[in-house]
Amino acid sequence: MYDIVIIGAGPAGLTAAIYARRAEKTALVIEKSTFGGQITHSPRVENYPGFAVMSGTEFADKLVEQALGQGAEIELDAVNKIEKADNGYKVICDGGEFFGKAVIIATGSHHRQLGIERENDFVGEGISYCAVCDGAFYKGKSVAVIGGGNSALQEAVMLSDMCESVTVVQNLDFLTGEQKLQKDIEGKSNVKVILSAIVSGIIGDSEFKGLRLSVKGEETELMVDGVFVAIGQQPENEPFKDVVKLNEYGYIEAGENCLPETEFEGVFVAGDCRTKAIRQITTATADGATAAISACRYIDSLK
């Protein structure tokens, strides 16, 4: 029986582990694929306070090292379900079961991909899923934003202030983002919109040069320095749906206190997997600290 079982070894989960260990609680972190989480896909991070520039992998390695150094245990396994058990929770994984007095869910989310050939080869090298993270790398350059919803339009507005030109590419024949945002982009002379367009391929061999589009069935090319894909995010919270409430998009309903809507005590949630406005490393690590401190207080209250 661990004091705290943390599901997910991204910035939120690993920060929670560090805080839990500093409070002398036993902590197990269970990660199904990449220690460090989604930031490991970023070759360059420039907005984490205290580090002018670092790669996502560098950051992830440091976090893992710090959590292990504090005495946290890390297990490579996928969590399929959590159940209420005597004195805590049973965490059921592919490879076995673990028990914790408290559980922190920190399973993150991932950006929906375009699903085109060679997409992964260009992530961080022409293809980005986050204008807040990577927009500054395209200062004075031409970019495309894929999507027509609120996120895509917000990204287009933000990028228009720093990029030479922004082309919004939407698959439907209308934009789905709110009217105010549509007005905002209409008012920008360096933003244009292409409707009814499907991204069908990438132009460029080793270097990203642009996109192949199918516009109303006609093949065309859009030469840009970079592309921001904003077609939604996908959390992976299905394993927890019997214990915590998910919203219509699959995020765990929880506020800044990291307490999910649940009838069970001792379950906390941290990072990108919960309902929140901004999904960044800073907000994920902040959640990790909040959730861990709340979990420690909860465990102390059991004595």
Ligand X SMILES: Cc1cc2nc3c(=O)[nH]c(=O)nc-3n(C[C@H](O)[C@H](O)[C@H](O)COP(=O)(O)OP(=O)(O)OC[C@H]3O[C@@H](n4cnc5c(N)ncnc54)[C@H](O)[C@@H]3O)c2cc1C
Contacts of 185 (CB under 8 A, 6+ apart): 153, 156, 157, 160, 168, 191, 193
163 as an active site residue: the answer is: no
For residue 42, state whether it binds ligand X (rule: CB under 6 A). yes
Enumerate long-range contacts of 53-59, CB under 8 Å, 24 or more apart.
59/11, 59/281
Residue with tokens 């009838």, as numbered in its chain: 263
Q: Which of 234, 246, 239 is nearest to 279 (CA)?
A: 234
- Smallest distance, Å, CB 29 to ligand X? 9
For residue 135, state whether it binds ligand X (rule: CB under 6 A). no
Binding mask 97-116 for ligand X (x = CB under 6 A): ---------xxx--x-----
- Smallest distance, Å, CB 120 to ligand X? 11
Which stretch in 29-37, 199-207, 252-260, 291-299 sits in contact with ligand X by CB under 6 A?
29-37
Element (H, E) at 144: strand 142-146
Residues in the chain: 303
Q: Quick one: which of 22, 26, 34, 66 contacts ligand X (CB under 6 A)?
A: 34
Q: Using CA atoms in the order 113, 116, 118, 123, what is the torsion angle rounded to 10 degrees?
A: -20
For residue 5, state whether it binds ligand X (rule: CB under 6 A). no
One of 93, 133, 163, 296 is an active-site residue; which one? 133
**DSSP secondary structure of 183-237:** HHHHT-TTEEEE-SEEEEEEE-SSS--EEEEEETTEEEEEE-SEEEE-S-EEE--
Which stretch in 34-42, 152-160, 164-172, 176-184 sits in contact with ligand X by CB under 6 A?
34-42
133 as an active site residue: the answer is: yes
Q: Quick one: which of 7, 20, 145, 258 contacts ligand X (CB under 6 A)?
A: 7
Which stretch in 140-148, 154-162, 185-193, 278-286 sits in contact with ligand X by CB under 6 A?
278-286
Q: Quick one: which of 157, 181, 269, 281 contacts ligand X (CB under 6 A)?
A: 281
Q: Quick check: 177 and 199 in contact, CB under 8 A?
A: no
Which stretch in 19-27, 38-46, 173-181, 212-220 sits in contact with ligand X by CB under 6 A?
38-46
One of 134, 225, 272, 287 is an active-site residue; which one? 134
For residue 156, state whether it binds ligand X (rule: CB under 6 A). no
Contacts of 121 (CB under 8 A, 6+ apart): none
Which of the residues are catalytic? 130, 133-134
Name the residues that contact ligand X, by CB under 6 A: 7-13, 30-34, 37-39, 41-42, 45, 47, 78-79, 106-108, 111, 123-124, 129-130, 133, 236, 239, 271-272, 279-282, 284
